[in-house]
Amino acid sequence: MCPSAAAAAANDTITVPTTEGAVPPEFQAVDSSAATKNGAAAANPQQRNPYASRASDFLSNTSNWKIIESTLREGEQFANAFFDTETKMKIAQALSDFGVEYLEITSPAASEQSYEDCKRICQMGLKSKILTHIRCHMDDARKAVETGVDGVDIVIGTSSFLRKYSHGKDITYIIKSAIEVIEFVKSKGIEVRFSSEDSFRSDLVDLLSIYRAVDKVGVNRVGIADTVGCANPRQVYDLVRTLRGVVSCDIECHFHDDSGCAVANAFCALEAGATHIDTSVLGIGERNGITTLGGLIARMYVVDPEYVKGKYNLAMLREVENLVADAVQVSVPFNNPITGFCAFTHKAGIHAKAILANPSTYEILKPEDFGMSRYIDIGSRLTGWNAVKSRVEQLELDMTDEQVKDVTMKIKELADVRTQSMDDVDTVLRVYHKHVTSGKLGLRQPAVFDQLLAEHKSEAGSEKGDDEPAAKKAKLA
Ligand SMILES: CC(=O)SCCNC(=O)CCNC(=O)[C@H](O)C(C)(C)COP(=O)(O)OP(=O)(O)OC[C@H]1O[C@@H](n2cnc3c(N)ncnc32)[C@H](O)[C@@H]1OP(=O)(O)O
Ligand SMILES: O=C(O)CCC(=O)C(=O)O
Ligand SMILES: [Zn+2]
């Protein structure tokens, strides 16, 4: 967290207890079969979570999916990434403890150390299954199976771009070599996935012929990859739904974020029947990366909070992100879903009032489910008397609503010049309260209050000396 962000979270905000439900009862997911049986859903449509899949979405897997966590493969392709063995092991351990079902590791064909690291991670005894990612080539496959992985992810480009400029092979060759490599990996008794790189710029007939052929020889999963981040959610839905009708195996999807759709595309893929989604922590990967682990978790929590809470150790998300952020020397973005420093900070008066009454008004995620806290910022010109009243009550100052409204006007006036810290606001509240109670100050006397505040600051400053801000001392008084 950057220093100003940390200061904002620590000093300028009210921490509000996170006990009330972020999802009100009428939006809680219900067992749809039970609802249909007793007619409750029809009688009262608000009885179910509107973000859950509908009974008519018979393809949807939004409550039945797995993560293939590729920080240690796609993430190693991020411009800043260099993971030594120890760092890889720490990341692998943390992701496994978080609960991801699979970890995808860089190809052992990449380098001698990549080969050794892949072996080492396989020996860690992690809960997550270990996969490695290889070209559609027997040499790579032989190395992969030697490492002790639980499965091998095979990829080859199928678009005309990649067929022409990457490997130069035609569809017939691709199918033949895919079958050879798949059969070899299967003969070793481990999982095998076949994926078409650049799927969304590939010819649909080519794609379906390849997928049908590999499904026939018993591949565990086929993969669709939006390698250049060009696909939109509707295209994803259409392609996955079509593929669902063609293959009987699982469907994995991999989305790059070049045009900002990676999380939305992952969601639509699951709605259309995909079973596995590739993620990386903070989305790190080639160029600007792929579906973020945290973003996918946030999206899917909205759909089915109990399912997501049951599978993953959500309170660990921040630790996992900080670990990876440190390893690749980036900051967690301020607007990161769930863990961004302002993800649960409420500022505008209209929001603050409603949040204080019921957090669900402006929150779809419950911060406490992720080990996070909710904050209300009252030191800005956008604050309102209801938020200020909540702080007055926290400080146990006895004021009428009229007085709170009066002092709120003062806070706004000060915040028109600069944002007020929590200490600043507390000083204003305490000075106001002291003088209004003693009768020295009446309502709507800004000039008198300015003078009383200035006197207070100079007294506090001279008592304490110049090394501590007056507001801080006032708070301690
Ligand atoms: C979209 C993705 O992210 S796919 C995953 C990308 N991951 C990686 O590239 C892993 C790291 N890569 C590496 O370490 C190297 O590129 C290696 C070891 C894989 C290959 O290195 P080199 O043999 O030096 O080849 P180079 O990287 O220059 O070119 C790629 C070669 O693989 C071939 N190739 C590319 N994709 C595939 C594929 N999916 N299946 C089979 N062959 C492929 C190319 O035709 C080229 O072959 P060539 O040697 O006949 O020219
Ligand atoms: O193997 C896959 O499915 C994806 C490979 C990849 O990283 C990509 O195509 O962007
Ligand atoms: Zn990728």
CA nearest ligand 2 atom 1, residue:
155
Of the candidates 10, 6, 7, 11, the one whose C-alpha atom is nearest the C-alpha of residue 423 is: 11
- Give me the pLDDT at residue 32, please: 36
- Give me the pLDDT at residue 26, please: 47
pLDDT beneath 50: ranges in the chain: 1-11, 19-43, 45, 465-477
Of the candidates 194, 181, 189, the one whose C-alpha atom is nearest the C-alpha of residue 220 is: 194
- Give me the pLDDT at residue 48, please: 80
Phi then psi dihedrals of residue 130, to 5 deg = -105, 130
- Ligand 1 atom closest to the CA of 285, numbered from 1: 3
Which string of DSSP letters, residue by residue, matches 15-34?
EE---S-SS-GGGS---HHH
In terms of phi and psi (left: phi > 0; alpha: psi -120 to 50; beta: otherwise), the region of 365 is beta
- Give me the pLDDT at residue 141, please: 98
- Give me the pLDDT at residue 47, please: 59
C-alpha 177 to ligand 1 mean position (Å): 15
- Ligand 1 atom closest to the CA of 197, numbered from 1: 1
- Give me the pLDDT at residue 35, please: 35
* pLDDT tens, position by position, 227-273: 999 999 999 999 999 999 999 999 999 999 999 999 999 999 999 99
- Give me the pLDDT at residue 464, please: 59
- Give me the pLDDT at residue 477, please: 20
Residue 132 DSSP code: E
- Give me the pLDDT at residue 24, please: 45
CA nearest ligand 1 atom 32, residue:
167
- Give me the pLDDT at residue 56, please: 85
C-alpha 266 to ligand 2 mean position (Å): 14
The three-class DSSP label of residue 36 is helix
- Give me the pLDDT at residue 475, please: 29
* pLDDT tens, position by position, 49-99: 888 988 889 999 999 999 999 999 999 999 999 999 999 999 999 999 999
Q: Just list the catalytic residues.
A: 351
- Ligand 1 atom closest to the CA of 140, numbered from 1: 19
Q: What is the pTM of this model?
A: 0.90
Q: Which ligand is nearest to the CA of 104?
A: 2
